[in-house]
Amino acid sequence: AQSVTQLDSQVPVFEEAPVELRCNYSSSVSVYLFWYVQYPNQGLQLLLKYLSGSTLVKGINGFEAEFNKSQTSFHLRKPSVHISDTAEYFCAVSMPGTASKLTFGTGTRLQVTL
């Protein structure tokens, strides 16, 4: 079975600074990888996903992530954050070709301050 580890439960950052949210996965087979954002009192919104092909994936709101198979990582980055990026970010994984589920990491709280 696959699993996802988000190493940082909270990441404080100043506005306009760059940020990286870390995600590592464990799977013996190929996987699909996703980043979702959850703003306070809302549902989840997809930021970006990696299915295959180019390892650098660009998403909405200026976010991007890089798939690194050798390090089994899928870290999320943004070069300059805004106050409005304050939210909970979840990394998730699913396995292609099986009836498996979307498995979420424990989440990282991004707190952007002035």
Partner 1 sequence: DTEVTQTPKHLVMGMTNKKSLKCEQHMGHRAMYWYKQKAKKPPELMFVYSYEKLSINESVPSRFSPECPNSSLLNLHLHALQPEDSALYLCASSQDGPNSGNTIYFGEGSWLTVV
Residue 21 near residue 110 (C-beta atoms within 8 A) = yes
Site track for partner 1 across 18-47, x = CB under 8 A: --------------x-x-x-----xxxxx-
The only residue of 61, 101, 111, 113 in contact with partner 1, by rule CB under 8 A = 101
Q: Which stretch binds partner 1 (CB under 8 A): 12-20, 55-63, 79-87, 105-113?
A: 105-113
Strand partners, 37: 45, 89
The only residue of 96, 112, 113, 114 in contact with partner 1, by rule CB under 8 A = 96
Residues whose CB is less than 8 angstroms from the CB of residue 80 and which lie 6 or more positions away in sequence, other chains included: 16, 17, 18, 62
Considering the complex, state which of residue 13 and residue 44 has its C-beta at the smaller distance from partner 1.
Answer: 44
Q: Point out which residues bind partner 1 (CB under 8 A).
A: 32, 34, 36, 42-46, 49, 51, 90, 94-102, 104-107
